Amino acid sequence: MNHRGKIKIDFEPLGKRGDCFTNNSILECAELTGLGINNICGGHGKCHKCKIQIMNEMRSEPTSAEKDIFSPEDLAAGWRLACQTFPDTDCKVHVPPESMTTSQRLQVEGLALSVPLQPNISTYDVTISPPTLANAQADADRLIQTINSQYNLNCDRIDSDVIKDLSHNLRLFNWKCNVSVYNNEIIAVTSSSNSLGFALDLGTTKLAGYLIDLTTGKTLASKGMENPQISHGEDIISRITRIIESPKEAHHLQKVIVKAINRLSLQLCKEINASISEIMESIIVGNTAMHHIILRLPIKQLAYSPYIPAINQSIDIKARELGLHFAQGSYVHFLPNIAGFVGSDHIAMLLSADIRKMDGLVLMLDIGTNTEVSLIDNGNITTVSCASGPAFEGGHIKDGMRAADGAIEHLQITDASVNYQTINGVTPIGICGSGIIDILAQLYDAGVVDKGGKIINSHPRVRKTQDQLEFVVVDEDERSGRTSITFTQKDIRELQLAKAAIRAGIQTLLNVTNHTEDEIQMVVLAGAFGTYIDISSAITIGMLPSLPFNRFKHIGNAAGIGAKLALISYDKCIESKNLPLNISYVELANNKNFLNLFVEALSLGNN
Ligand code: FES
**Using N-to-C axis directions, what is the helix angle for 344-352 and 558-568, rounded to 10°?**
80
Given a contact cutoff of 8 angstroms between Cβ atoms, the answer to whether 572 and 408 are in contact is no
Ligand 1 atom nearest 41 alpha carbon: 2
Instruction: Write down the pLDDT at residue 480.
Output: 77
The C-alpha atoms of residue 209 and residue 205 are separated, in whole angstroms, by 13
Which of 475-503 are b and which e, b meaning 16 or more Cβ less than 10 Å from the residue's Cβ? eeeebeebbebbbbbebbbbbbbbbbbbb
Calculate how far, in angstroms, residue 42's C-alpha sits from the geometric centre of ligand 1.
6
pLDDT at residue 1 is higher than 60: no
The yes-or-no verdict on residue 135 having pLDDT over 60 is yes
Over its C-alpha atoms, the chain yields an Rg (Å, rounded) of: 27
Q: pLDDT band for position 109 (50/70/90)?
A: low
45 within ligand 1 shell (Cβ under 6 A): yes
Q: SS3 of 545, please? A: coil
How many whole angstroms separate alpha carbon 475 and alpha carbon 57? 33
Give, to the nearest 10 degrees, the angle between helix 489-512 and helix 594-601. 140
Whole-number pLDDT of residue 557: 85
What confidence tier does 107 reach under pLDDT thresholds 50, 70, 90? low
Question: What is the CA 487 to chain-centroid distance, rounded?
Answer: 26
Closest residue by Cα to residue 497 from 387, 574, 382: 387
pLDDT on residue 2: 42
Q: Which residue has the higher pLDDT, 172 or 480?
A: 172
The percent of residues above 90 in pLDDT, for the chain, comes to: 62
**Mean pLDDT of the 201-212 span:** 92
Q: Say if residue 444's pLDDT is above 60.
A: yes
For the entire predicted model, the pTM comes to 0.84
**Sheet arrangement for strand 380-386:** 552-556, 520-526, 361-366, 371-377, 380-386, 583-585
Among 25, 37, 49, say which to mutate for ligand 1: greatest number of ligand atoms within 8 Å of CB.
49
For residues 393-399, give the mean pLDDT.
89
Read off the pLDDT of residues 546-557 as tens digits, 9 standing for 90 and up.
Answer: 999 889 988 888
Q: What is residue 500's three-state secondary structure?
A: helix
Model confidence band, residue 343 (pLDDT cutoffs 50, 70, 90): very high
Instruction: Tell me the pLDDT tens digit for each residue of 505-532.
Output: 999 999 999 999 999 999 999 877 777 8
Q: Quick count: other Cβ atoms within 10 Å of Cβ 155?
A: 20
Mean pLDDT across 433-461: 93
| Greater model confidence, 207 or 234 | 207
Which of 25, 29, 48 to mutate for ligand 1's pocket (most ligand atoms within 8 Å of CB)? 48
Using the mean position of ligand 1's atoms as its centre, give its distance from the Cα of residue 70 in Å.
14
Distance 430 CA to ligand 1 centre (A): 24
Those residues with Cβ within 8 angstroms of residue 315's Cβ, 6 or more apart along the chain or in another chain: 295, 333, 334
Tell whether ligand 1 has an atom less than 6 A from the beta carbon of residue 46: yes
CA–CA gap between residue 95 and residue 317 (Å, rounded): 33
Residue 540's H or E segment, with its range, is: helix 535-540
Q: pLDDT at residue 153 above 80?
A: yes
Q: What angle do CA 595, 599, 603 make, to 5 degrees?
A: 155
Ligand 1 atom at minimal distance to the Cα of residue 45: 3
HSE-CB for 74 with a 13 A CA cutoff? 13
Which atom number of ligand 1 is nearest to the Cα of residue 83?
4
CB 352 within 8 A of CB 113: yes
Task: Quickly count helices (H) and strands (E) in the chain.
Answer: 17, 27
From the CB of 50, is ligand 1 less than 6 Å away?
yes
pLDDT the model gives residue 14: 80
SS3 196: strand
Is residue 41 within 6 Å of ligand 1 at its C-beta? yes
Give the distance, in angstroms, between the CA of residue 222 and the centroid of all CA atoms in the same chain: 14
Residue range 378-407: average pLDDT?
A: 90
| Residue 571: HSE in the Cβ half-sphere, 13 Å Cα cutoff | 8
Ligand 1 contacts CB of residue 83 (under 6 A): yes
Name 83's Cβ contacts closer than 8 Å, sequence gap at least 6. Answer: 25, 26, 27, 39, 41, 43, 44, 45, 50
For residues 115 and 569, is the Cβ–Cβ distance under 8 A? yes
> 15 versus 583: which is more confidently predicted?
583
Stretch 141-145: mean pLDDT:
97
pLDDT for residue 48 is more than 80: yes
Q: Is the CB of 43 under 6 A from ligand 1?
A: yes
Atom nearest to 42 CA in ligand 1: 1
Give the pLDDT band of residue 4 (cuts 50, 70, 90).
Answer: low
Residue 98 pLDDT > 80: no
Question: How many CB atoms sit inside 10 A of residue 457's CB?
Answer: 12
Q: Measured between alpha carbons, how far is residue 575 from residues 334, 351, 356, 363, 469 in Å?
A: 13, 8, 10, 20, 52
Predicted confidence (pLDDT) per residue in 462-504, tens digit: 999 988 999 999 998 888 778 899 999 999 999 999 999 999 9
In the chain, % of residues over pLDDT 70: 97
Q: Give, for ligand 1, the residue of 25, 44, 69 to mutate: max count of ligand atoms closer than 8 Å to Cβ.
A: 44
More confidently predicted of 586 and 96: 586
Look at residue 607 in the predicted model and tell me its pLDDT.
65
Instruction: Give the amino acid at 592.
Output: K
pLDDT, tens digit, 9 for 90 and up, residues 420-432:
999 988 889 999 9
Neighbours of 125 (CB within 10 A): 11
pLDDT tens profile 280-316:
999 999 999 999 999 999 999 999 989 999 999 999 9
Residue 119 has a pLDDT of 93
Does residue 52 have its Cβ closer than 6 Å to ligand 1?
A: no
- The whole-number pLDDT of residue 111 equals 57
**Average pLDDT, stretch 428-457?**
93
47 lines ligand 1 (CB under 6 A): yes
What average pLDDT is seen over the chain?
A: 91
Helix, strand, coil tally for the chain in percent (to 5): 35, 25, 35
Determine the average pLDDT of the residues in 435-458. 93
Residue 49 CB–ligand 1 contact under 6 Å:
yes
